[in-house]
Amino acid sequence: MSLLVVGMSHRTSPISVLERAALDGTGARQLAAAACSSGSAAEAVVLATCNRLEVYAEVDAFHAGVRDLAAAISGSTGLPVEELGEHLYFHHGERAVDHLFTVAGGLDSMAVGESQVLGQVRAALRRGQEDGTVGRTLDHLLQQALRVGKRVQTETGLDRAGHSLVEAALDGAEAVVGDLAAARALVVGAGSMSALAATTLHRRGVARVTVANRTPARARRLAEAVGGDAVPLTDEAALRAALAAADVVVSCTGAVGHVLDARAVAAARAERPGRGGAGPAPQLVVDLALPRDVDPAVAALEGVVVVGLAELRERLARTPSAPGAGLGAGLALARAIVEEEVLAHQAEQRAAAVAPTVTALRSLARDVVDAEVGRLRSRLGADADPRTVAEAERAVHRVVDKLLHTPTVRVKALAADGEHGASYAAALRELFGLEGESSLDSRAGAVGALASADVSSSASVAQVLAAVPAPVPTAPPAPPADGGAA
């Protein structure tokens, strides 16, 4: 068995596909159950967020696992596999572990470093535990992922990076729009970064904050938290009016494609009041999304100043004392933490994989000792001194324990430090005539199947499925020569 993740996210799918594939908690439960009932997955857990849908599963075969997980996603979302294939990605084995830890650390999020994803991973684990789709392997792995995510937050401060970016973006706002106490702001989006922007604007004393979002209920909740109002992002007239009134616009929706294009902003500026009889009053547009929410052509509109993530990071790099200036260093440290934790997980898995060999070796030794002690007792008879027999038995056990100490400790150390543990375990099994196969060999076989497929995790699921040869039809049995019933 080995770990496989098949999924889609803001990095591979347009917002239209992500919206159609979105699942609530009930849908996520049903998808995990479908994955487990497919025949390929022994355990499964589903991570479903506003910009991510992933199935993590323990599978015994790579190609069958990809095929069955993709089919389960298709069945749960109603999207055909043919349409989903180019948007779905996969990670297998160690790369799947690295991906999960990266996600839990907030490094694969739309807003890098955001901590909301930890709660989403925790909710996914809880659903799997309640429904029985998560067993010992995935339970342990997701608990590790939660610990890695918490460690990234604690040791890097990346969970504060988003706050620093918002603060840095607004530091130059008054130079563009004047006194913030008399300004109005529009926040496009209602996710964690948008919520941070809205609360920061409110704390800085902005006169009024309006929130626009595709889901009106989420927009209203965020607007109420800052004493503002909400408009549907899909209502062009309402959005244009909010854009025309806003001095500061902050956008971070997680959409693929431009949410604010030059045509919409130009139309809003045509309705925007001027300042002192001149043209429309200046506006600051802050784009915190990746990919960008704001059409680059907006920056060419007269009176509009656009600030994006690239500009913010350059500004912070030029000013080491500015808030969030350590973002780059924080990202590097976070990545180092993830790599360290992945290596630790691999060492733990390798050590656990040779445990059956150690157990079998010690069991064999125990059987040999018990047999020899039994023969000794039989030879000495009932008149033998019990203390002498007991001391002889202890001496035999001590000798065997000392003889087994070095090979058992060494095989665990080799497994933890590198790939030699598998060959050492195989040698022990061969030398001592131990039956069965180590679980590490089984895992290596699963990964070997992936290597022989001549694909990598950078390929899409569609490419993997296309590489699977069509099943050869089984010919019906030939009728008996005499034409009678078989």
Residues marked active site are found at 50
What is the residue whose two structure tokens read 């200036």? 325
- Rounded to whole angstroms, the Cα distance separating 38 from 443 reads 20
Q: Helices 94-104 & 327-353, crossing angle to 10 degrees?
A: 140
Determine how β-strand 283-287 pairs with β-strand 304-308.
Answer: parallel
How many alpha carbons lie under 13 Å from residue 450 in its C-beta half-sphere?
Answer: 25
Helices of type H across 178-254:
192-203, 216-225, 236-245
In whole angstroms, give the CA distance from residue 235 to residue 224.
Answer: 20
Q: Residues with Cβ < 8 Å from 363, sequence gap 6 or more?
A: none
Show Cβ contacts of residue 308 under 8 Å, excluding neighbours closer than 6 positions. 286, 287, 288, 292, 294
CB distance 246 to 276 below 8 Å: no
Helix 420-432 and helix 439-452, axial crossing angle in degrees, nearest 10: 130
